[in-house]
Amino acid sequence: MALIFHRGIIANSQFFSRSSGVLFRRLRASRSCTSARGEGTANTLKEELIQVAPKRALEPNTHGFEAIIGIETHVQLFTLTKAFCSCPYVYGSRPNTTICPVCMGHPGTLPVLNSKVVEFAVKLGLALNCGLSMTSKFDRKHYFYPDLPKGYQISQFDIPIATKGFIDVDLPVEFGGGHRRFGITRVHMEEDAGKLLHSETGSYSQVDLNRAGVPLLEIVSEPDMRSGLEAAEYAAEIQRLVRFLGISNGNMQEGSLRCDVNVSVRPIGQSKFGTKVEIKNMNSFSAMSRAIDYEISRQVLLHSLGQSDQIFQETRLWEEGAQKTFTMRKKEGLADYRYFPEPDLPEVVLTKEFVDKLCQGLPELPEAKRRRYEKMDLAMQDVLFLANDNHVAEFFDASLENGADPKLAANWIMGDISAFLKNERLSITEIKLTPFELSELIASIKNGTISGKIGKEILFELLAKGGTVQSLIEEKDLVQASLIFLIVDPAAIEALVDKVLAANPKQLEQYRAGKTRLQGFFAGQVMKESKGKANPLVLNKILGVKLKGES
């Protein structure tokens, strides 16, 4: 356990000492519930084997070097109040309005933990397949900065609420696809700082403390990523996860999802890590990917020029305009945060009942969705699209409930419906089309009531105005006197067939002599007679019977 007497050694902020097994045994919960559901062990081995092959193919040409990438993600939680006081937090509020003496760090105040924060932390820990610490604590992390009112941040240092998990991702098809599993070192709870802005003149700075005290979950990954692509997909999956769980809106632009990346390179085969460089200021997943790839090539270049000592352990900023990383400052030794347990907060204790209840309440996670959709024989492209957004997946699943064919439903959603959403700038929860009606539409086309072309027209109506497929078909029937409605009445079609056969005795003879492909000719003739309204399925059935000579 962490803090022993160091003889004048500056406490390394990254230092954990593993000690008494007794203590840790008491702290650890049993493995997360997703593995208990049977998802885990059998599939994981297979996936790890799959991992090895595609990995090599996807690495950028790094001239015999491999990149080691680790990511620290801060997720701002969706709670109604801050972590340690009851102030609300609304993004975009007027500066310094959602504040109180507690989050302002005024003397005589005490923090009180928001119970929702623990709930969200446990949910995330379970979703990331972590082991939970049934008892954990908060610590103070000291540093001075104007956006940190108390002069310390309440965080968790040596006993985080969740440790040793993993996350499964699928790389995008257009980049080669493939499964990956990345390790999660830890997840812990902490509070956010305020915002610091610089005045236009630059002679002073400005502080907005609305955000001070907002709860964060910090997710530290194992250094398992090997390229910008893998890192970006990891971050995207974290975003998907926090949205699926409903604990954050995971928005990089708003700052509710922040990623700091650590990149180092080493010659392939070497076990010792290279110098680690931290990169900040990436505002999107694609920026992350490009920043990392740039940094990898920068470091590899220095290595190849024999200047690997020019790689310093520092923080670099990604400049979107220049598409390069620039030095922010060199790290002068390791920061001394003077961690000690937060005396004003009690232990965080989790009970088995609490954890089990949350476990059972977890929604189906993105990874499980992808595997389920894969089993439906959908193309990987479709799988990734459908499982990307929770609402889209729900819509899709709901339409299947009524018996719609998965491939057809997927096509409609990915094609016409998506195009509509994009044009109208709507989300799938805002359209008037219901999943039930989509399945009705698919069924109507499948059984021949309407053609595909008509289906598209009806879809547009349904998306914009709602209603039911049935009523629209009938409506249009009234208005345009069965222009849409195909003739399905067998007797009517029989009559047409008889007429056509009587009018073409020569072809009928040839058919009965063996030229069976003349059936197409007859079908065309009947269609012509019916002005294109004969139902093809019924038509061919009756035609087949009549041609053979049975009446």
Partner 1 sequence: MATGMTMSDATLLRRLSTLLVARSGCPRRMRLFSSYIVRGATFEPPDVSHLADSARISLAPGEVEDFGPKIRQVIDWFGQLQAVDLESVEPSVRADAEVSMYKREDTPETFENREAIIRVAPSYDDPYIKVPKVLSKE
Whole-number CA gyration radius for the chain: 31
Q: How far apart are CA 104 and CA 149, in angstroms?
A: 5
Per-residue CA distances from 233 to 46, 55, 237, 238, 302 (Å): 21, 14, 6, 9, 27
Q: How far apart are CA 158 and CA 1, in angstroms?
A: 8
What binding mask, one character per residue, do residues 209-238 give for partner 1 by CB under 8 A, x or -? x-----------------------------
Cβ at position 291, least distance to partner 1 in Å: 21
Query: What SS3 string covers 266-334?
Result: EECCCCCCCCCEEEECCCCHHHHHHHHHHHHHHHHHHHHCCCHHHCCCEEEEEECCCCEEEEEEECCCC
Distance of CA 326 to the CA centre of its chain: 30
Distance of CA 348 to the CA centre of its chain: 29
Query: What SS3 string covers 338-400?
Result: CCEECCCCCCEECCHHHHHHHHHHCCCCHHHHHHHHHHCCCCHHHHHHHHHCHHHHHHHHHHH
Cβ distance 60 to 95 under 8 Å? no
Q: What angle do CA 523, 526, 527 make, to 5 degrees?
A: 85
Contact residue for partner 1 among 62, 73, 114, 227 (CB under 8 A): 114
Contact residue for partner 1 among 137, 280, 324, 533 (CB under 8 A): 137
Residue 198, helix vs strand vs coil: strand
* E strand or H helix at 69: strand 65-76
- Sheet with 179-191, strands from edge to edge, namely 131-132, 162-170, 179-191, 215-221, 65-76, 257-267, 277-280, 314-319, 324-330
Nearer to partner 1, 35 or 135 (CB): 135
Q: How far apart are CA 31 and CA 144, in angstroms?
A: 39
Q: What backbone phi and psi angles, to 5 degrees, belong to 267?
A: -60, 140
Cβ at position 13, least distance to partner 1 in Å: 12
Cβ at position 213, least distance to partner 1 in Å: 12
Helix axis angle, 519-529 to 505-513, nearest 10°? 150
Contact residue for partner 1 among 38, 41, 92, 204 (CB under 8 A): 204
Interface with partner 1 includes 503 (CB under 8 A)?
Answer: no
Q: Which 2-31 residues touch partner 1, going by CB under 8 A?
A: 2-8, 10-11, 19-20, 22-23, 27
Instruction: Label residue 8 exposed, middle or buried (CB < 10 Å: 0-12, 13-18, 19+).
Output: exposed
Nearer to partner 1, 11 or 492 (CB): 11
Contact residue for partner 1 among 30, 115, 284, 470 (CB under 8 A): 115
Contact residue for partner 1 among 64, 146, 520, 524 (CB under 8 A): 146
CA-nearest of 183, 272, 263 to 220 is 183
Contact residue for partner 1 among 45, 48, 63, 197 (CB under 8 A): 197
Nearer to partner 1, 138 or 396 (CB): 138
Q: Using the structure block, give the residue that is written with the tokens 């109180």.
A: 100
What binding mask, one character per residue, do residues 40-79 give for partner 1 by CB under 8 A, x or -? ---------------------------------------x
Cβ at position 78, least distance to partner 1 in Å: 10
Q: Which stretch binds partner 1 (CB under 8 A): 52-60, 204-212, 404-412, 493-501?
A: 204-212
Nearer to partner 1, 102 or 257 (CB): 102
Cβ at position 363, least distance to partner 1 in Å: 20
Interface with partner 1 includes 88 (CB under 8 A)?
Answer: yes
Contacts for 425 with CB less than 8 Å, ≥ 6 apart: none
Q: Which 306-365 residues touch partner 1, going by CB under 8 A?
A: 329, 335-336, 338-341, 343, 346-347, 349
Cβ at position 405, least distance to partner 1 in Å: 43
Q: Using the structure block, give the residue that is written with the tokens 């208990």.
A: 36
Contact residue for partner 1 among 101, 246, 415, 466 (CB under 8 A): 101
Cβ at position 162, least distance to partner 1 in Å: 15
Cβ at position 214, least distance to partner 1 in Å: 12
Q: Which stretch binds partner 1 (CB under 8 A): 132-140, 251-259, 409-417, 515-523?
A: 132-140
Interface with partner 1 includes 429 (CB under 8 A)?
Answer: no
Nearer to partner 1, 107 or 505 (CB): 107
Nearer to partner 1, 14 or 204 (CB): 204
Contact residue for partner 1 among 28, 31, 74, 116 (CB under 8 A): 116
Cβ at position 145, least distance to partner 1 in Å: 5
Interface with partner 1 includes 517 (CB under 8 A)?
Answer: no
Question: Residue numbers of the site for partner 1 (CB under 8 A)?
Answer: 1-8, 10-11, 19-20, 22-23, 27, 79-81, 86-88, 94-101, 104, 106, 112-116, 135-137, 142-146, 159, 196-198, 202-209, 329, 335-336, 338-341, 343, 346-347, 349
